[in-house]
Amino acid sequence: MSVKQLLDLTDKVAFITGGSRGLGLQMAEALGELGASVAISARKQHELDAAKEHLEGLGVKVVTIAADLGNLEGIPAVVDQVVEQLGDIDILVNNAGATWGAPAEDYPAEGWMKVMNLNVNASFFLTQTVGKRCMIPRKTGKVINIASIAGLSGNPEGMQTIAYNTSKGAMVNFTRALASEWGRYNINVNALCPGFFPSKMSQGLLEAQGDSMLQRIPLNRFGGEEDLKGAAVLMASEAGRHITGQCLAVDGGTLVA
């Protein structure tokens, strides 16, 4: 099989949560370009509409689902919508997430619960639902969890995101544990751990500490609009079929510095 064939996603169905903007939309572009039909979910319909128009302009077949995955009871209905419109899900990207900033000693219960519920609970129960319905019966599938370098280390001075760090650390070991369990079903489970990418979520942090953060990145730049695409395609395609349980930092070298 040629490398082009290994990367080809024609006839595959990808479901990307939080896919209306930022890293989620970047990955939707990449998987769609290589032939996948793409379902994206987010809470805000107007953002989904804009993303749909953008992706269709690139020639991608896309459906949108407005949903709050923090409402765990609604997850089966979301999966039903994807399957009914596109077919069984081959690639699941758990990208939707939240953050909340506060000192650890004063961290509010509301913030902790919100972050952990969306970043960890929703990802697990969505993956469980997709696995039982679409992947395990067919003995094939790719699960990509979007963790973070924040789940692999502590925080630089001034960052107070203990719930976010904890949730992303949980996603790292969720990836390893699930890869161990689901390997027998020929399901690959991996995580991407982005470093600092400009986004709506990171905007305030970058405005406050952008210069000092840049100094800690060996490549001397933040992640750009193309920088997660290649890694996502690798994990979603047959090119990565012998990779599972891995957590790949896409961070310009931040962790090694």
Identify whether the C-beta of residue 60 lies closer than 8 Å to the C-beta of residue 33: yes
Beta-carbon contacts of residue 108 (< 8 Å; ≥ 6 apart): 100, 102
Residue 78: enclosing H or E segment and its boundaries?
helix 75-86
Angle at 254 between CA 15 and CA 117, to 5 degrees: 40
Task: Kindly name the residue from 48, 119, 161, 164 that is annotated as catalytic.
Answer: 164
Report CA Rg, the chain: 17
Instruction: State the CB neighbour count (10 A cutoff) for residue 202.
Output: 18
- From CA 88, how far away is CA 76, in angstroms rounded? 13
Identify whether the C-beta of residue 232 lies closer than 8 Å to the C-beta of residue 25: no
185 given a catalytic annotation = no
Please report, for residues 35, 69, 84, 114, the alpha-carbon distance to residue 104 in angstroms, rounded to integers and kept in the order given.
44, 26, 44, 15
Residue 132: enclosing H or E segment and its boundaries?
none
Active site residues: 164
